[in-house]
Amino acid sequence: MEQSVIHALDFDGVICDSAIETGIAGWKAATHLWNDMETPLPPPELVEQFRQARPIIETGYESILAMRLLHNGESIASLLQHFEQKKLEILTQNELDITELKRLFGEVRDRWIEALPTEWCRMNPLFPGVAEKLNGLADRSIWYIVTTKQERFVSQILAANHIRMPAERIFGLDRNMNKEEVLAGLLKQHPEQIIHFVEDRLPTLLKILRNDKLQTIKLFFADWGYNTVKDKQEAQKQQSINIISLQNFLNCLDG
């Protein structure tokens, strides 16, 4: 008997093109920390720079730090190559707490949604064809979202796009679990089924690849998401990682 497929999907960069909203939310949060970032919205050129540097962001709060670094004149190339080091420096120099930054980032988004819900959702468009495919998938099989985004924001965007998704199938920041832990739990929950995990961040896929407990998961690298040319070249060297385009993704969801 053929095994059925469980789809586990990252959100930002796979389902949702949230780069502009994330950058603006990062700026809005940064204005609470640094007085010299006084304008309510970032200059358009910084938004574009943030979009180009978006592959460095793993969790939303990091956009606060990225926007601060860009405001201070850090180059896109420097962020792409040295963000972890720059992040540690800015956290230390400003005595910032990551838990507090996550809280601030969530509160800024909550206020934005409360004040201008239509605008906020408009700045989080889904990639073309994704909404239709996900609703079709829901009629045939089980799928999950595995993300570092806070779950209430995922639910808000899905609802705005009329996508049916039970809350218990969204694994986000609120769970205090990394993606490896979530996937390990899904393997236990679905021992007789194949899990396909679609992710746009190569470092995340490489961590999973090195985890002996997750060897049965089939990995897909979303080349339309937030990754670099270097990421794509490195992914091509990994025999256990399947590189797919958006069209491939939409087609393979029928599997």
Per-residue pLDDT tens over the stretch 13-66: 999 999 999 999 999 999 999 999 989 999 999 999 999 999 999 999 999 999
For residue 9, the model assigns a pLDDT of: 97
pLDDT at 197 over 70: yes
At residue 10, the pLDDT reads: 98
pLDDT in tens, 138-164: 777 889 999 999 999 999 999 999 998
Residue type, 76: I
Q: At 39, which amino acid appears?
A: T
227 pLDDT band, cuts 50/70/90, is very high
CA-CA-CA-CA dihedral for 64, 230, 130, 112, to nearest 10:
10
Which pLDDT score, from 0 to 100, does residue 253 have? 62
List, in sequence order, every beta strand (DSSP E) within the chain.
5-9, 143-146, 170-171, 194-199, 218-222, 241-244
Average pLDDT, integer, range 208-231: 96
What's the rounded mean pLDDT across residues 101-108? 97
Average pLDDT over every residue of 190-202? 95
Average pLDDT, the chain: 94
CA distance linking residue 212 with residue 190, whole number of Å? 17
pTM of the model: 0.93
| Lowest-confidence region among 108-117, 223-232, 244-253 | 244-253
Average pLDDT of the segment spanning 207-232? 96
Nearest to 64 by CA among 27, 36, 103: 27
Predicted pLDDT at 254 = 52
pLDDT at 255 over 50: no
